Structure 1
């Protein structure tokens, strides 16, 4: 068992780790570790479901016992006794999963509430519980406990903070097996895979460990944080100081009294660079007058402003209604019922562009809604530049550095017995796809070793489609990263949920998280629970060349292959000796797909859905699960 760091070994009082607390879920059907700290040599008794377990704290004050043959059920109380006693209440026994990765695993139900309104209301599941691991990083020694956190049951009052992927996965497992399900979410937006791996496991990656070295110096970290904070604060202070919209004239530019007759016009949504503002860093003000009918007054209203690059402050009729400080979250601002008025109303948005790529993202909703009525906000707006400055100095995301999140957030979990791990990550490694398979293998082995569960099921999400669709076949780092994820199925005890049809071209955080969670649950039912079910879409197996055609064979064809929209297959490409890929015709023949292009007489290779955003890709099996992207030319 791990020794001290967070325990305070000189403290002789009985202490439990954060995870062993009220409302916890314990893993059924296996030996479950219960551990903690007490005075050196002190006897410890654990009483649970009519049994008594005994241990003695070692010279470091550490103790542990193992619960055997737990059956699903509860709630129970657990009594831990030494010189003092602790009662842990409302304990359930069922299934426990760790959910880790970056922002798409972290993304909460709050962000998908408009996508799944019924699920936000009908979420009273006292036997589904989550534990949110707060951000903490460390570079020298793995932590043995968490600084904060508690178990929460799913309910309308708590659901907004649950990981959406984690919740929909847990609900699917709960409803299938009718047992309690707990999930521990340890995920941080933007984190690369190497931040979740221990230093010892990264010994084969000297270039990664070289990046780690400076962060072992606490003084260096303080210097970086201080420097970054000073530079950022100075940039924003300078922007505000020179923003004419805040400092010139009798009224600020969000005021109702401002005269916009001299402002220019821009049709929104739009990229600034396409409107004569290429490379602009600074503040740009946008205003729009709208006519609000009486039937929208004195009702809850919401302002939808799509996504804005990079940050915004938004006002209605001169009153501040909300702000988002970075580009990814959708802008959805609730408007007080008494703020709108009959007739003319003004909406003002101060956009801060800090890296020269200002934009109102297209393909997102821009509207005002109230009482079931909608006012479209796309089209002509007035705009005026308030300030121009240099780019925002790049910040150092210390938590993204190698080993940081493993030591701070994951290591404290590894004594807690779990069924398996869910992983949704990869976006932050797309610039380095060639190393991803090796790092994935290293991480899985690392986790299994630290959990002392050599067969720990590891279920992961393949990256969805994202970005502008290409007109012609092209190279793609996102496709290469997906290929590395596909290769990870070579590792025993793994399974993958394909999500190539669940992305959004204009959002790295697509909303269809229910589909992701449910596909992960299908994969877990097969890999972790041993069900003989169709849990995956078609996976490339082999190819055969005959004349000017290539026949593709697949694993996981299920009840048969089909085109997802009932039309012809799309996004197959084929190449000959010149290695120049061209769009191909493709047809399902039995359990295979035949691919050709009449202009290529001697084909050599096929690619399917090989792009950042292969939005037309539509090969699925009869069970409705999409085929994984693949290429035969490597």
Structure 2
């Protein structure tokens, strides 16, 4: 009894000294969903109903909807029981059977942090960390969720647990948004016990306005870049069947929202310009978009090598020398997988000053810099990428049924979904095909592409494939599906795709421990050039790192992508667009004669006086190193005294073909290739 009185006194004393963080607005309006919650000023706790009853209780913040965008959460927690208990946040609340939980768990002799999802009638853990120090009954703890701003941590979100009075750090953990958890949706508080846990100073930062009926997706915001010389679709939501007006300069537009509240207007073509203001209003609400530019807009997407930041690459040296440039702007798309296509998942535009640029995609920034300097007009990049992701995450899963080669992926998805819904073990399903996470087919399209379709773009730059090397032959079909679906939804069958062929790598990750996995993926990428029109491939075989899947050299790749765009899209035919591409082979006696296209003024070697990287084989299909001689501007002679009757030639055909050194006259590398179609034995 005396001990309980002491704890109660400490409880009141500590909450008297808890200090709110500056910069947050406090709103104490809540929806009580489960449990007997009591709200007193800025304190919330679950009032005891019966001494022996222990239930999960949760409460959510008012004025939030599933499309609400937020950047930070924080709350102070006080435990006042020796029983095992847990308390923290409800995140991304959909309904009473579908929400995420971020919580501290305390028992008599241990404490931990947990992150997971309540769905299908049970809790699915995602992350559990045992705390080195136990949470005490006589202490107040702050849990916060914030975007990562530190270079030492690659994950985009940081969760911290701090003792309020002393500032002692109990946890600092970087987290990806894989299921997803952070930055969007309805949030609240969670308690696993019916009493003796109290929350104070709940704070939410940069909450998007939800009281307005007139809404735009986040890409239509201050600092945006619109595509020049094209009719531009603009869309949003409003009160059903109400008029919506748009004014740009002297041009005025008007439409009426449909019965669901959706509306769309097509803006007239505009020439390159800056400092435009757009005014959108209905009868009740007004939105002003300032500092709008008109120029060239490209979408940059893919996985980690596209996402690798400027400060992590060779482009950082160049970026530090560049002055602030209002003519280069990036739309930063947050990482948010989704089961259904979203109207909005957040994001904002940034202008090119080093404090921003250092965290941009190195390749996309280098590409934009080259375009902007050559074209001398504003360039906007929509930056939407996620490391470690497969191509099938980036287009709707329903597209997979269109091919026998890919329909099995969709079958596995439905098999896993049925198991989840029936609380059964998931068996014989590849983990990337399981619903509810970043790798699920279609989830990144729904959350990170769909929100800005059909925002007018000139083209796409794409760097991805490492996560598809376990089934490299399938990649041609999958990548073609993405290209054609994106062209369909953008209503542009000629939408240009410039993509990067995988760099050299042999670090035993992402299939590189499998012989021929990466060469076969590169071959699938090369075949796309023949299969899909209006495509270009930047060869990166010479800038790889044998042990690092994220090569430091990004400037050559950015330059090669921009060459493709300048030549193919902007018709600057004085720009050499590509390195040599395999064209044909002729076998004559003991010699193979290989013809190439894209040689410009001829072929040359680099880093050596001899041509290296060729293999040759006879009918026994055993490849050995071959000698090679450049005969003329587009032909190489390949032979070996050991192979008297050659049947096949390969070039740069390994995971890391470091010796390959054939280039064209301007120093662009030859794409890996093979003349045979022999299957791996």
What secondary structure sits across from 1:158 in the alignment? helix
Q: CA deviation at 1:216?
A: 5.4
Take 2:541 and 2:276, find their aligned partners in 1: how far apart are those partners? 42
Q: CA deviation at 1:600?
A: 1.2
Q: 1:63 to 1:464 in 2, by over 3 A?
A: same
Give the match for residue 321 of structure 1: none
Take 2:293 and 2:423, find their aligned partners in 1: how far apart are those partners? 42
- Asked if 2 retains the 8 angstrom alpha-carbon contact of 1:98 and 1:183, the reply is yes
Q: CA deviation at 1:454?
A: 1.3
Count, aligned residues: 454
Give the match for residue 624 of structure 1: 667
Q: 1:127 to 1:220 in 2, by over 3 A?
A: farther
Decide which of 303, 306, 311 is 1:110's aligned counterpart: 311
Take 1:49 and 1:71, find their aligned partners in 2: how far apart are those partners? 13
Give the match for residue 151 of structure 1: 349
Q: 1:5 to 1:60 in 2, by over 3 A?
A: farther
What secondary structure sits across from 1:80 in the alignment? strand
Take 2:393 and 2:363, find their aligned partners in 1: how far apart are those partners? 21
Take 1:161 and 1:187, find their aligned partners in 2: how far apart are those partners? 13
Give the match for residue 560 of structure 2: 519
Decide which of 215, 228, 237 is 1:15's aligned counterpart: 215
Take 1:224 and 1:51, find their aligned partners in 2: how far apart are those partners? 59
Q: 1:78 to 1:59 in 2, by over 3 A?
A: same
Take 2:570 and 2:548, find their aligned partners in 1: how far apart are those partners? 34
- Asked if 2 retains the 8 angstrom alpha-carbon contact of 1:193 and 1:426, the reply is yes
What secondary structure sits across from 1:45 in the alignment? strand
Take 1:461 and 1:198, find their aligned partners in 2: how far apart are those partners? 22
Take 2:541 and 2:416, find their aligned partners in 1: how far apart are those partners? 37
TM-score (normalised: structure 2) = 0.64
Give the match for residue 653 of structure 2: 610
Give the match for residue 440 of structure 1: 479
TM-score (normalised: structure 1) = 0.68
Q: CA deviation at 1:165?
A: 0.7
Decide which of 451, 471, 476 is 2:516's aligned counterpart: 476
Q: How does 1:51-90 map to 2 (within 5 A)?
A: 51-83=251-283, 84-90=285-291
Residue 641 of structure 2 is aligned to residue 598 of structure 1: yes
- Asked if 2 retains the 8 angstrom alpha-carbon contact of 1:128 and 1:153, the reply is yes
Decide which of 543, 566, 590 is 1:502's aligned counterpart: 543
Take 1:59 and 1:12, find their aligned partners in 2: how far apart are those partners? 17
What secondary structure sits across from 2:234 in the alignment? strand
What secondary structure sits across from 2:236 in the alignment? strand
Take 2:412 and 2:312, find their aligned partners in 1: how far apart are those partners? 34
Residue 340 of structure 2 is aligned to residue 130 of structure 1: no
Give the match for residue 82 of structure 2: none
Q: 1:592 to 1:67 in 2, by over 3 A?
A: same
**Where does the alignment leave 5 or more consecutive residues of structure 2 unmatched?**
1-64, 69-184, 186-209, 427-433, 509-513
Q: CA deviation at 1:20?
A: 0.1
Give the match for residue 571 of structure 1: 613
Take 1:209 and 1:5, find their aligned partners in 2: how far apart are those partners? 27
- Asked if 2 retains the 8 angstrom alpha-carbon contact of 1:569 and 1:619, the reply is yes
What secondary structure sits across from 1:405 in the alignment? helix
Q: 1:170 to 1:583 in 2, by over 3 A?
A: same
Give the match for residue 164 of structure 2: none
Q: How does 1:153-232 map to 2 (within 5 A)?
A: 153-203=351-401, 204=403, 205-213=406-414
Give the match for residue 173 of structure 2: none
Q: CA deviation at 1:17?
A: 0.8
Which 10-residue stretch deviates more, 572-581 or 407-416?
407-416
Q: 1:216 to 1:93 in 2, by over 3 A?
A: farther
Take 2:407 and 2:462, find their aligned partners in 1: how far apart are those partners? 25
Take 1:220 and 1:422, find their aligned partners in 2: how far apart are those partners? 38
- Asked if 1 retains the 8 angstrom alpha-carbon contact of 2:507 and 2:548, the reply is no
Take 2:596 and 2:425, find their aligned partners in 1: how far apart are those partners? 51
| Alignment deviations for residues 361-386 of structure 1 (CA, whole Å, 9 cap, x no partner) | xxxxxxxxxxxxxxxxxxxxxxxxxx
Q: 1:224 to 1:168 in 2, by over 3 A?
A: farther
Q: CA deviation at 1:452?
A: 1.4
| Alignment deviations for residues 500-549 of structure 1 (CA, whole Å, 9 cap, x no partner) | 00111110000111111111111111222233232100000001111211
What secondary structure sits across from 1:157 in the alignment? helix
Q: 1:33 to 1:43 in 2, by over 3 A?
A: same
